[in-house]
Amino acid sequence: MLAPRNWRVASRLILLVAIPAVLGLTLAGLRVAGSASTARTYGQVSEIAALGQQVTGLTQALEHERSEAAAFVAGGRPAPGLADLDKQYATTDTWAGQVRRLVSQLDRAQPSARTRASAASGLASISALPGLRRDTAQGQASAMDVISGYSTAITGLFPVLDGIADQDDNPVLITSVRALGALARLKDQAAQQQAILGSALAGGRLEPGALAALTVAQAQEASYTATFRGSATAEEGWALTRTLAGPQARQASAVEQRAIAAGAGPLALGPGATARWQSGTSYTVGWLRHAEQQLIRSISTDARDQQRSASTAALVTGGIALSGLLLTLLIALLIVRSVVRPLRRLEAAALDAAESRLPA
């Protein structure tokens, strides 16, 4: 009874149409699942990129705070300077609060272990701020001690940026994130030099360790510049080269080289040196910060676009598959009816001939 030759004609036709329909639906389902998985992946990338945007804002606020705190300490911790520091503290705390909020959302999203570790490192950097501020306002820490403490906190935030590409193996995304990490570190090394020499000019002398810190920061800046050029687009690399070779950057570099040549001890760089240094480094660091924000926004926008494209592909594929299935079922029904009806009439005529007309 179960052999196909014993099946009714309608059942055979339905099976003939159903097999390719089921196979097509299965393949479509796999494509929908793949698109949905890609959409989820880029959703996570988008979330971490949004966190990265807040982290870049926090690092920039911390760099401002580091420079102001170092100058405050080098200047003898004058009481009026605390008001300016408090304003910067409020700005930094606003960014820190936004980072904390997004990190708490990442915990619920369950990203990769490396992403959670980098987020924990960022939170540890934020938790170090009260101690750094106490050392700045009330402690016996030198300007270089303050700079070192803030630099450590800022370094703890960079793994968050590196982790943006952990969720996906897209080579374009990986290259962009690598360029972002190099640019963020390059900017921080330039800002460190700004804080070190700025505090030395405010205090009138290079502290012990400041000279070595300046040369190390210069070498690190050169290394990250090379890394950035290796990962950035030609346009981005050209813009960086033009900025670093501009008149403002050159005049700041000249002041720095004179300070390094003077060595440890009192600084006598001549009139206008402080103004040229502040103007040149402010321009360079400001440009780097702007470029960093542009790059992280580009990464975040691309991630959202990829997520929308994958979601749209899943919906379109699912809709096409469902429409195809309904159309196949309709065609199968029409074919079955067109074949079965004549067979039934033939069967009825044969029975009538066999049971009525032939006996008569």
The domain spans of the chain are 46-245
How would you classify residue 172: left for phi > 0, otherwise alpha for psi between -120 and 50, otherwise beta?
alpha
Question: How many whole angstroms separate alpha carbon 115 and alpha carbon 349?
Answer: 77
194: amino acid identity, one letter: Q
Q: What average pLDDT values come out for the chain (360 residues) when binned by 10 residues?
A: 55 60 59 56 72 91 93 88 91 94 72 76 90 87 92 92 76 86 93 91 82 92 93 89 88 88 76 85 91 87 71 66 67 65 64 64
Q: What's this model's pTM, rounded to 2 decimal places?
A: 0.77
pLDDT (0 to 100) of residue 301: 81
CB atoms within 10 A of CB 84: 12
Q: What distances in angstroms separate CA 276 from CA 60, 182, 216, 303, one per listed residue?
A: 22, 27, 22, 41
Residue 138 confidence (pLDDT)? 82
Beta bridge partners of 266: 205
pLDDT value, residue 194: 92
State whether residue 233 is helix, strand or coil: coil
Q: How far is CA 231 from the centre of its chain?
A: 15
CB 99 within 8 A of CB 153: no
Contacts of 149 (CB under 8 A, 6+ apart): 128, 131, 132, 135, 141
pLDDT at position 201: 85
Per-residue model confidence (pLDDT) at position 42: 58
Q: Which amino acid is at 69?
A: A
- What backbone torsions phi and psi does residue 106 show, to the nearest 5 degrees? -65, -35
- For residue 262, what are the contacts with CB-CB under 8 A and spacing of at least 6? 206, 268, 269
Q: Which helix (H) or strand (E) holds 342?
A: helix 273-352
Torsion of the alpha carbons at 219, 224, 225 and 227, rounded to the nearest 10? 130
> Positive or negative, the Cα torsion across 168, 170, 173, 179?
positive
Determine the 3-state secondary structure of 266 from DSSP.
strand
The position carrying tokens 């994958």 is: 310
- Is residue 51 within 8 A of residue 104, CB to CB? The reply is no
Taking residue 38's Cβ as centre, other Cβ atoms within 10 Å add up to 19
> What is d(CA 92, CA 78) in angstroms, rounded to the nearest whole number?
21
Which pair of structure tokens corresponds to residue 51?
Answer: 């966190």
What is the pLDDT, as a whole number, of residue 32? 54
pLDDT of 46 reads 75
